[in-house]
Amino acid sequence: MISIAIFGFLGAVARYLCYMAVENRARQPKLATWFVNSLGSLIIGACLGAGVPATFGIFAFLGAFTTFSTMALDSVKDFEDGHWKQGIFYISATLVSGLLLFAAGYSIASM
């Protein structure tokens, strides 16, 4: 319980720092969301592949570090602005890279 609180705190802050780092360079918050979701998928794949127990704090960290709602909202904004291709590309790129990186992390760690 306390571990979830602490690692949830840290995961959200780490995500926010990624937003800051990306937004300071270019005003492209979707890039930061794509980055945290991809990196988080790679790391959770590696953890599951290596057999890290589910109670470990890293899972609470990754749960908060990655986000689904921000991705959904950003794509809705794209669709609303008429940027259909951009929104669909963003969603597809996130889903595919998340899956591929999870698979990569999983297979490397379970070797």
Partner 1 sequence: MKNILAVGFGGMAGSLLRTAVFQFAGAGLGLWLANIVGSFIIGIAAARLVNRSAGTRLFVSTGLIGSFTSFSAFSADWFRLLESSLLTGIMYALGMTAASIVAAALGLLAGRKGAVE
Cα separations (Å) of 105 from 71, 72, 94? 22, 25, 16
> Was 66 annotated as part of a binding site?
yes
**Nearer of residues 26 and 36 to partner 1, judged by Cβ:** 36
Of 3-62, binders to partner 1 (CB under 8 A) are 4-13, 15-17, 19, 36-37, 40-41, 43-45, 48, 60, 62
> Was 57 annotated as part of a binding site?
no
Tokens of 6: 């602490």
Using DSSP's 3-state secondary structure scheme, residue 28 falls into: coil
Q: Is 86 in the site for partner 1 (CB under 8 A)?
A: no
Closest contact distance (angstroms) between CB of 26 and partner 1 is 19
**Nearer of residues 8 and 31 to partner 1, judged by Cβ:** 8
By CB under 8 A, how many residues form the interface with partner 1?
Answer: 49
Closest contact distance (angstroms) between CB of 81 and partner 1 is 13
**Contact with partner 1 (CB under 8 A) among 55, 69, 82, 85:** 69
DSSP string, 56-79: SHHHHHHHHHS-SHHHHHHHHHHH
Instruction: Report the candidate in 109, 107, 89, 111 with the shortest Cα–Cα distance to residue 99.
Output: 107
Helices (H), 1-111: 2-25, 29-49, 57-65, 69-80, 84-109
User: Binding site for Na(+), residues?
Assistant: 63, 66
